[in-house]
Amino acid sequence: MEYRRITALPPYVFTIIDTLKVEARRAGRDVIDLGVGFGPGGEGHVRFALIENEQRIAQAVRSLRGCLDRLG
């Protein structure tokens, strides 16, 4: 699938986004990343990378559960 709006962005935008993601992670905030890097096999799926300690994973699950509950 072609993501016309994303491919139209100048490359420096992704450098800025990557810098902001690193800063957010270092500050202990959760980061949601663009999933287009997974290609066609990732379409229609949600991917999670939980490479944290057990307490942080439990916190992420609670946050996700709250978001999903609000969506209905």
Structurally, the chain folds into a number of domains equal to 1
Residue by residue, DSSP assigns 4-58 as HHHHTS-HHHHHHHHHHHHHHHHTT-------GGG-GGGTT-------S-HHHHH
- Distance of alpha carbon 31 from alpha carbon 56, whole angstroms: 13
Q: Considering only residues 16 and 4, tell me which one the structure prediction assigns the higher pLDDT.
A: 16
Its domain, for residue 11, covers 4-71
Q: Considering only residues 30 and 59, tell me which one the structure prediction assigns the higher pLDDT.
A: 59
**What is the mean predicted confidence (pLDDT) over 41-61?**
74
Q: What pLDDT was estimated at residue 1?
A: 60
